[in-house]
Every structure is written in C-alpha cells, then in structure tokens.
Structure 1
Amino acid sequence: MLPSLRAIAARGIFASSAPLIRAVQAAPHTHKRFYAGAAERKKFYENVSISHGEGGFEINLDRKKLKTPHGKVFTVPSEALAVAVATEWDCQRDVIKFYTMHLTTLCNTALDNPTLRNKEQLIKAALKFLETDTVCYRVEEPPGLVELQKNEWDPAIEWAEKRYNVVIGSSTSIEGPIIPTETKDVFSSHLASYNSWALLGIEFIISQLKSLILTMGLIERHLPVERAVLLSRLEEEYQIQQWGNVEWAHDFDLQDLSSRTAAGTLFVHLCSESSTKKHKLLQD
C-alpha cells in the first residue's frame, strides 16, 4: 500500500506543501466544474504503484495502467504529483468516490483538454476574474461590513500592487474598479511564465475563490489556504456572525471550499516540479 500524504510529506517529498496536503484531506469534496467522470464506482483494484513511462510518470492499478476518460495513458510530469495522485486512488475503499479526487480530475483535464484551450486562452480566462475580483468589490453599508472589508481586503490588494508593481484599487460601484491596461499586461506576462498544467490549476483556484488576487497570494505563498478561503467568504462570514447559520451546512461548505482550494494550490506547485528518474518508484 502507498504511504499516506502525511507520511510522504514527512519524508520531504512534498517539502513545504504539507499544510496543503492536510487541507486536501480534511473533507469530502463536491465540485463538477472541471472534467470528471461518474460520481462513484465500485472499486476494481487492490494495489496502486507508480512507474516511469516515455512521457512521464504513470499510475498503475494492479497491473493495468490508469487511463483518462478519453483513453489516454494517465501520465504526469513530476514524481511528487504522481505520488499525490496515486495516494488519491490508494485511499479509496470499497467505492471509488471520484468527487474526492481533485488532483486526478485536474490531471485528466490537462491530458484530455476537453475544451481544447491553449495556453493563451487559459491566461485570458484567468485575467477575466481580475475585472470582477471579490476583494475589489466593496459595499457602502452596513458600517461594520464596510470596515471589515477595508481592514481585511485592503492588505491583500496592497500586497499585490507592491508585489507586481501595478495599480488595482477597489470600488463600491456595481461595475467594479477600472483596472488599467498596464496592470492587465503585467499579470498576463506573469501568468505566461507558468506552464499549461499550472495555469489550469490557477484557473481552478480562481474559480473557487472568485479572486485572482487571493489566488496569486496563495501561489506566491503569501497567504495560507485557510486565510485565503476566509477572505473569499468575508461577507458570508459577516452575515453568519450577525444572523447565525445552519451549522452543518456552513461547516461542510467551508471544509469543501478549503479542500478544493488546497488541492488546486498543491497541483500548481507540483506541476512546477520536474524529475527524470526512470525506475519504478513505489510498489506494493
């Protein structure tokens, strides 16, 4: 059996990604925006292993190679990502719950590319969120929420403006702030430094947080997952403090969002790694 993600992190394979791993494992996930197959299937294998193929690292279920929904051999670019995906499969019990396997889903999306998007299109999709970024939209009342947004969101914007040497700002207008063309160009150039797999992960995180600014804070290790999720839910958390909540629903939504966000962040980090080892890495 494969070691757990916690054990792998302890060995140093994932280095500073251990907090992300804990968040990924924290709760079941339900998110169908990205490429995924059936919700559940009876488990049909006993053992999971990793081997090195012509195109990268492959996942083996017993003696059969894992394949994508379109029938391609499931091949990932780094050892660490292969270990993480293999662990998702190894953690399944009697039933394979595909909705808990975000790393597998992201890899399937990258390999099959069902929407036929290239790198330029992925960058444009990410940039669109800058114009409607959660932290840039402000309310005019109630005073408590106005102050909370200023205290919590302003530092995130200030960090991004300083980090990328751009102007972003915020607005109470329903149309949002006017983002300068120069700012968009800077973010476009920065995103172009990532490969297509990492860009897919970035878009996945943005779709969770509804914020390019918070997403880049995560990727740049300026924000931990828990903090980024809290900032993305600031107004909702304020309303809950004022009026209360349905406890189980709130807790599930929070853990679900945290889990998906952590998985996306881990995916981006692992897609930036490379390895050329050509021997079998993990066996039963």
Structure 2
Amino acid sequence: MSAWSARRFWTTASAVPVEGGFTVQLDGRPVRTPLKSPLVLPTLALAEAVAFEWQAQEGTVKPETMPFTRMANSAVDKVKPQFVAVADMLAEYGGSDLLCYRAEGPAELVARQAEEWDPLLDWASAELGAALRTTTGVMPVTQPESSLAALRSLVHGFGAFQLAAFHDLVAITGSLVLAMAVTRGRIDVAEAWRLSRIDEDWQIALWGEDEEAAEVAARKRADLVQADRFFTLCG
C-alpha cells in the first residue's frame, strides 16, 4: 500500500539532518517519495514544513492537504531526473510572456496594461539582461535571442527544488518575467497574481464574475502562494 492511501501509523513526524540535506522521519522511519526514492530536502526549514504536514494528518493520509510534500516529491521524482528538459520548457515562456501580448482595445485597457506591465519589462531588461518586445493581439513576436539566452541561463541556475516551485510560479501567471520578479523580491506574490489577472479583472468589471471561474481562480491563487513559500523555504 502506498503512503498516499495509508492510515496514520506514526506518533511523531520530525525533520532530521542526513547526508546531502535533511529528511522527514515518522517515528524514526524516513519518508520516501511515491517512486520510493529518499526524500532529501535542501534546507531544514523546508524539511520542517513537510514534517508539519505529516504531523497534521489524522486517520487516512490526504495528499491534497500536503502541498509541500507533493511538490518535494515532484522535485525528486520528476524534476531531478529530467532537469534540463524542465528548465528548457520553462525558459521557453520567455518567448511568449504574458506581459508582451497587449490588447488592441479598448484604450483604457491598453493604457492599464502599459502602466502596470511596462515597469516589469524595463526591470527585466535592466536587471536580467532580457529586453523583450511587445505586440498587440495574438500574432507572435520574435524575441531577441540574447534575451532568451539570458533567461534560459537564469532558469538553469535554479536547483531542482526551486525549479519545482518556479514551474508553478510561471505556469499559473503565464509569465517568466513575473515569476523571476517574485523570486528576486522585485514584487511579492500577491502583486504577481494581480498583474497576471489584468485582462480577467477587466472582463469581470464589465460583465461580472462567473462562480465556477472564481473557484478556479481561487485555487490557482492558493497554489501560487504555496509555490512562492516553497521556493522561499528552499533557501
């Protein structure tokens, strides 16, 4: 029976040092990933967060209440074995970054996008060495290869655990620039969420909010916050 379907059998979940980092032990037994790999975490803070999730379980283990454990498992079982492929996939967002694709109208929305997004593109150019071009509508714009190479190098500079969290920061916002800005302290995760939702919020202001869409958005926002905290705990 896998850990995910097991009932709680332990009294104490604790974070302990091991070779290469830290792990979580359940009454002295080390936790393993779904693929049975050792769960070796890069920092004590992250190990303590994972241990807290295990300690909080009652009865049957519920993975939906253990976001840090699930992301750590993903880092070990999925990201590490194919690190280059994952990093390359995320770096490709630089070629289609949300902040580069602007509305053709109305004028108020066009102005809002420019006011809110241009400072982040200016920052990416100055601080990341990645000047990106903007366009209107859905027609693709070709980005400078030097900018894409700079972004690719930065993404490849993350560790596997950081990259697991960075994946969600990028995928949920649709923006490599916003994700980089969060990880470097240029903006916080709440601001990244707001900036990624300018188009959606504009439509909501005009037509109202669909209940189902609001529920989906709330889940995505929660996932974004968790990814930001996980990245921070990686040290």
The alignment partner of 1:51 has SS state of strand
**Cross-structure match for 2:31:** 66
Instruction: Give the deviation of 1:132 after TM superposition.
Output: 1.6
Q: Is the 8 A contact 1:129 1:212 kept in 2?
A: yes
Q: Quick check: 1:106 aligned with 2:78?
A: no
* Aligned with 1:190 (options 154, 163, 167): 154
Instruction: Give the deviation of 1:171 after TM superposition.
Output: 0.6
The alignment partner of 1:76 has SS state of coil
Q: TM-score, normalised by structure 1?
A: 0.74
Q: TM-score, normalised by structure 2?
A: 0.88
Instruction: Give the deviation of 1:208 after TM superposition.
Output: 1.3
Instruction: Give the deviation of 1:248 after TM superposition.
Output: 7.2
**Cross-structure match for 1:156:** 120
Q: Quick check: 1:137 aligned with 2:96?
A: no
The alignment partner of 1:50 has SS state of strand
Instruction: Give the deviation of 1:107 after TM superposition.
Output: 1.2
Q: Structure 1 vs Structure 2: percent identity of aligned residues?
A: 28
Q: Is the 8 A contact 1:136 1:176 kept in 2?
A: no
Identify if the C-alpha distance between structure 1 residues 64 and 170 changes in structure 2 by more than 3 Å, giving closer, same or farther. same
Instruction: Give the deviation of 1:163 after TM superposition.
Output: 1.3
1:179-209: CA deviation from partner (whole Å, max 9, x where unpaired): 1001011112222332232223212211111
* Aligned with 1:88 (options 50, 53, 66): 53
Unaligned runs of 5+ in 2: none
For 2:107 and 2:56, the matched residues in 1 are separated by 47
Q: Is the 8 A contact 1:201 1:264 kept in 2?
A: yes
Instruction: Give the deviation of 1:215 after TM superposition.
Output: 0.1
CA RMSD of aligned residues (A): 2.3
Q: For residue 122 of structure 1, what is the amino acid of its counterpart? A: V
Higher relative contact order (CA 8 A, sep 6+): 1
Instruction: Give the deviation of 1:112 after TM superposition.
Output: 1.7
For 1:256 and 1:219, the matched residues in 2 are separated by 21
1:16-72: CA deviation from partner (whole Å, max 9, x where unpaired): xxxxxxxxxxxxxxxxxxxxx96x765443421122223321112234321110112
For 1:58 and 1:42, the matched residues in 2 are separated by 21
Q: Is the 8 A contact 1:60 1:66 kept in 2?
A: yes
**Cross-structure match for 2:176:** 212
Identify if the C-alpha distance between structure 1 residues 82 and 95 changes in structure 2 by more than 3 Å, giving closer, same or farther. same
**Cross-structure match for 2:226:** 263
For 1:75 and 1:91, the matched residues in 2 are separated by 20
Q: For residue 150 of structure 1, what is the amino acid of its counterpart? A: A
Q: Is the 8 A contact 1:225 1:258 kept in 2?
A: no
**Cross-structure match for 1:77:** 42
Q: Is the 8 A contact 1:110 1:200 kept in 2?
A: yes
User: Which has the larger share of helix?
Assistant: 2
Unaligned runs of 5+ in 1: 1-36, 274-284
Q: Which moves more between the two structures, 227-236 or 99-108?
A: 99-108
For 1:114 and 1:179, the matched residues in 2 are separated by 27
